[in-house]
Amino acid sequence: QKEVEQNSGPLSVPEGAIASLNCTYSDRGSQSFFWYRQYSGKSPELIMSIYSNGDKEDGRFTAQLNKASQYVSLLIRDSQPSDSATYLCAVGVVGGFKTIFGAGTRLFVKA
Amino acid sequence: DGGITQSPKYLFRKEGQNVTLSCEQNLNHDAMYWYRQDPGQGLRLIYYSQIVNDFQKGDIAEGYSVSREKKESFPLTVTSAQKNPTAFYLCASSKGTGTVNYNEQFFGPGTRLTVL
């Protein structure tokens, strides 16, 4: 059973701080990794994709991938109250079109 | 604007009724997906389709049916056999093979189904 695990939270950080969201996955052969943001009552929005080991930065977001440890993380710098949402980690299934989603981490950014 | 549309936004079903949820995309994506999300839980795959006239069952296909007669459209029918259909239903699409980011999935706004 392929799995993607996330701490459900809630994770609470003050405005301006760095929020760190973590995810582990079970399929060692996985090649594609995604972070989605989902506001309450809305659909998920893709915010980061990462395919190789290391860091990938996009604005205030940095995705980090360590395939040896089967670990992927998302850092949000200068967190804003508008970043308060559930963040879903997703991992592409090897050799196919399917993607396994974690249950998500709820983030609260306090003004 | 390119994107994915789902309709209706809210749907109410009586016991024993079949209902069909619409999903349309104009992104020229080959693959399309249906997920179900229950409160406080992650996404569970119902059905997916890689090309027109072909689709595969996901993890929770029982009580659901789909068709893929056009590249742009992937409707989902929730049948009376689905015992607990109240949930948030999400349609997604992704590019076909041949691109490195072929399984980046983009979601529609969702349909919230309630059984009365």
pLDDT in tens, A45-58: 999 999 999 999 99
Residue A81 DSSP one-character state: G
Token representation of residue A108: 């609260």
Cβ pair A20, A75 in contact under 8 A: yes
For A48, name the nearest residue in chain B, comparing CA atoms only.
B104
Give B16's pLDDT tier (boundaries 50, 70, 90). Answer: confident
Task: Kindly state the tokens that stand for A45.
Answer: 């929005």
Look at residue B102 in the predicted model and tell me its pLDDT. 72
Q: Tokens 């992937």, residue? A: B74
Kindly identify which residue of chain B lies nearest to residue A98, measuring between CA atoms: B103
| Whether pLDDT at B23 is above 70 | yes
Take residue A103 and report the two structure tokens written for it.
Answer: 């249950």
Interface subset of B 71-100, CB within 8 angstroms of A: 90, 94, 100
The residue length of chain B stands at: 116
Option in B31, B41, B50 nearest A103 (CB): B41
Q: How far apart are CA B27 and CA B71, in angstroms?
A: 10
A interface with B, Cβ–Cβ below 8 Å: 32, 34, 42-46, 49, 51, 88, 90, 92, 97-99, 101-104
Phi, psi of A82 (to 5 degrees): -70, -10
pLDDT, tens only, B58-104: 999 999 999 999 999 999 999 988 888 999 999 999 987 666 667 89
Q: Could you tell me if B63 and B34 are in contact, meaning their C-beta atoms sit under 8 angstroms apart? A: no
Distance (Å, rounded) from C-alpha B36 to C-alpha B86?
Answer: 9
DSSP B34: E
The count of other CB atoms within 10 Å of the CB of residue B86 is 14
Band (A111; pLDDT cuts 50, 70, 90): very high
How many CB pairs lie under 8 A apart between chains A and B? 49
pLDDT of B36 reads 97
Please write the tens of the pLDDT for every residue from B30-68: 999 999 999 878 899 999 999 999 999 999 999 999 999
Task: Show the tokens assigned to A21.
Answer: 């969201």
What is the 8-class DSSP label of residue A83?
G
Average pLDDT, chain A: 94
Residues from chain B contacting residue A7 (CB–CB below 8 Å): none
Split at pLDDT 50, 70, 90, the class of A84 is very high
Closest Cα in chain A, distance from residue B97 (Å) = 9
**Shortest distance, CA A7 to any CA of chain B (angstroms):** 12
* C-beta separation of A73 from A21 below 8 A: yes
From A68's Cα to the closest Cα of chain B, the distance in A is: 21
Query: Quick count: other Cβ atoms within 10 Å of Cβ B15?
Result: 7
Cα–Cα distance, A111 to A19 (Å, whole number): 14
Tell me the average pLDDT across A71-88.
97
pLDDT at B1 over 70: no
Query: In Å, how far is A10's CA from the nearest CA of chain B?
Result: 12
Evaluate if residue A97 carries a pLDDT over 90.
no
What is the band of A16 on the pLDDT scale with cuts at 50, 70, 90? very high
**pLDDT of B39:** 85
Percent of chain A's residues with pLDDT above 70: 99
> How high is the pLDDT of residue B52?
94
**pLDDT given at position B99:** 64
